[in-house]
């Protein structure tokens, strides 16, 4: 008596193997799935964080360095930006070069009737405060590092659209 596979992936594999001839366009389907999987996994870059103790360490001095993954920064920004019914992120980009945060670009969808300049200024301040908390004031770079772009205006809560 054969033991039936319980894992859905094993069952799917066995069904494909038993199918004669292989399903039409199997190679194309397989490539499409793998392409989507590769696109889903985003690379992560280390971003140097600065504290009072590590404000300006001399290069090669052997001092400890602290890094925060760009994925951690993106996740924290996404959580921050999804916490209000007045706006929702449509796109968040973090530019890192030589382990330094260069720029954060945020696309926002906003609720209809909101004062957009005031909202953008408030969101920019919240983002800068979060970056300072995660990376330290030296690494966050202040408001000049953060670009807010309103890309859509929707009726109601943009988080629900």
**Distance between CA atoms of 4 and 106, rounded to whole angstroms?**
49
58: pLDDT confidence band, cut at 50, 70 and 90?
Answer: very low
Spatial contact of 89 and 123, defined as CB atoms under 8 Å apart? no
Q: Quick one: DSSP state of residue 160?
A: G
Q: Which superfamily is assigned to 46-160 in CATH?
A: ANL, C-terminal domain (3.30.300.30)
What is d(CA 89, CA 147) in angstroms, rounded to the nearest whole number?
13
Distance of CA 68 to the CA centre of its chain: 13
User: What are the residue ranges of helices labelled H in 3-98?
Assistant: 8-18, 26-40, 70-81
Domain ranges of the chain: 8-40, 46-160
Work out the pLDDT band at 10, boundaries 50, 70, 90: confident
Do 106 and 127 form a contact (C-beta atoms < 8 A)?
Answer: yes
pLDDT at position 123 = 96
- What digits encode the pLDDT tens for the residues 68-96? 999 999 999 999 999 999 999 999 999 99
Closest by CA position to 145, among listed 41, 47, 43, 44: 47
Residue of 86, 148, 132 whose CA lies nearest to 113: 86
**pLDDT band at 57; cut points 50, 70, 90:** very low
Q: What is the pLDDT of residues 114-126, one digit of tens each?
A: 999 999 999 999 9
Give residue-wise pLDDT tens across range 20-47.
Answer: 666 666 677 777 777 777 667 778 899 9
pTM equals 0.69
pLDDT digits (tens, 9 = 90+) for 112-159: 999 999 999 999 999 999 999 999 887 767 667 899 999 999 999 998
CB-side neighbour CA atoms (13 Å) of 121 = 5
């Amino acid at each position: 008596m054969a033991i039936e596979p319980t894992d859905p992936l094993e069952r799917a594999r066995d069904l494909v193997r038993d199918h004669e001839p292989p399903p039409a366009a199997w190679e194309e389907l397989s490539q499409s799935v793998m392409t989507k999987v590769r696109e889903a996994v985003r690379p992560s870059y280390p971003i140097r964080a600065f504290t009072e103790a590590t404000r300006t360490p001399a290069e090669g001095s052997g001092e400890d360095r602290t890094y925060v993954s760009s994925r951690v920064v993106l996740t924290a920004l996404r959580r921050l930006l999804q916490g209000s019914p007045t706006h929702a992120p449509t796109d968040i980009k973090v530019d890192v070069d030589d382990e330094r945060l260069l720029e954060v670009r945020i696309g926002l969808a906003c609720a209809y009737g909101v004062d957009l300049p005031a909202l953008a200024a408030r969101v920019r301040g919240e983002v800068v405060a979060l970056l300072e908390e995660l990376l330290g004031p030296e690494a966050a770079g202040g408001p000049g590092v953060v670009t807010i772009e309103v890309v859509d205006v929707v009726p109601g809560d943009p988080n629900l659209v």
